[in-house]
């Protein structure tokens, strides 16, 4: 019997390889560069627009946070002249040169018309000695309106006691090693140290002065405040005196009128009805 031969299936033709993506994109770019550039611009613009709401939301939250926060005394956070500070706890606790613990509120309460704090970097140094002695020499006039004067530094009690004794200072010196009160009145130097300056506060906690300055300038600040108070006092006294003089003139006129009426009655024999009696 003859052998039957079977035909083999022809192998499938291999699939044509896909063109590389890079070559295709290059070809596309070469084919239509304007469209490709436009697509890139559109993608960039779309990306920015999607990010913008988030940025706006963050800015809005920041604005709301700022409005809810308590505003500082001024743009730098320092005490502001004309503003009123809450004296309770203000500046923390300090110590006098003789070791007594105290606070600004205690000093203000004990004063007649307010407190002057002049700050100095270091006791017994030339500039600080000049400043302390200027306040010493003008002490009587500076305290004439009821202000109490204190020197303030980060020096320890021993250094300030020596300073006070040697220069014969008539006012107490306050020791603030942690610079809590110095910082509260805006006279703390960053990162460390004390700015020479002067701070004046009234009995009601109103800030009358708060500024840095030279030894002489710090004294002049207080002199101007005291001079203004004295001028106001003189004006008040003058107004009171003028009022008293006017009242005295009125009284004299009234007395003169009564004397004239009495004389007229005696000369004209005025009867009880006020009519002059006939002879």
Strands 197-201 and 173-175: unpaired
The Cα 177–Cα 184 span in angstroms is 13
Tell me, what's the pLDDT at 78? 72
The Cα 114–Cα 140 span in angstroms is 15
pLDDT tens readout for residues 232-255: 654 444 555 555 666 666 667 676
Q: Does residue 128 have an active-site annotation?
A: yes
Check 87, 94, 123, 128 and give the catalytic one.
128
**What are the angstrom distances between the C-alpha of 88 and each of 93, 148, 160, 184?**
11, 19, 26, 13
pLDDT tens readout for residues 253-278: 676 667 666 666 666 554 444 454 44
Q: Is the pLDDT of residue 67 over 50?
A: no
pLDDT tens readout for residues 8-62: 666 666 666 666 655 545 544 454 666 666 677 666 656 545 444 444 444 444 4
C-alpha dihedral sign at 46, 48, 51, 57: negative
Name the residue with tokens 């923390």: 92
pLDDT tens readout for residues 211-232: 999 999 999 999 999 998 766 6
Q: Is the pLDDT of residue 156 over 50?
A: yes
Model pTM above 0.95:
no
């Amino acid at each position: 019997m003859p052998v039957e031969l079977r035909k083999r299936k022809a192998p499938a033709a291999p699939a044509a390889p896909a063109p590389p993506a890079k070559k295709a994109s290059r070809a596309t770019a070469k084919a239509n560069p304007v469209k490709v550039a436009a697509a890139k611009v559109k993608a960039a613009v779309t990306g920015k627009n999607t990010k913008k709401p988030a940025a706006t939301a963050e800015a809005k939250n920041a604005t709301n946070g700022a409005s809810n926060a308590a505003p500082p005394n001024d743009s730098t956070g320092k005490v502001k002249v004309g503003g009123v500070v809450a004296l309770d706890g203000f500046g923390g606790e300090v110590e006098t040169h003789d070791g007594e613990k105290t606070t600004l509120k205690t000093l203000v309460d004990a004063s007649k018309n307010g407190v002057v704090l002049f700050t100095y970097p270091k006791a017994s140094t030339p500039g600080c000695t000049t400043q302390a002695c200027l306040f010493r020499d003008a002490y009587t006039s500076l305290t004439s309106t009821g202000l109490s004067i204190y020197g303030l530094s980060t020096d320890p009690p021993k250094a300030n006691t020596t300073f006070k004794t040697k220069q014969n200072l008539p006012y107490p010196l306050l020791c603030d090693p942690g610079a809590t009160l110095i910082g509260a009145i805006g006279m703390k130097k960053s990162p460390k140290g004390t700015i020479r300056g002067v701070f004046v506060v009234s009995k009601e906690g109103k800030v009358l002065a708060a500024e840095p300055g030279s030894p002489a300038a710090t004294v002049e600040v207080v002199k101007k405040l005291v001079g203004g108070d004295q001028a106001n006092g003189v004006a008040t006294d003058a107004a009171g005196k003028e009022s008293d003089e006017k009242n005295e003139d009125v009284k004299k006129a009234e007395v003169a009128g009564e004397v004239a009426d009495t004389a007229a009655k005696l000369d004209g024999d005025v009867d009880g009805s006020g009519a002059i009696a006939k002879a």
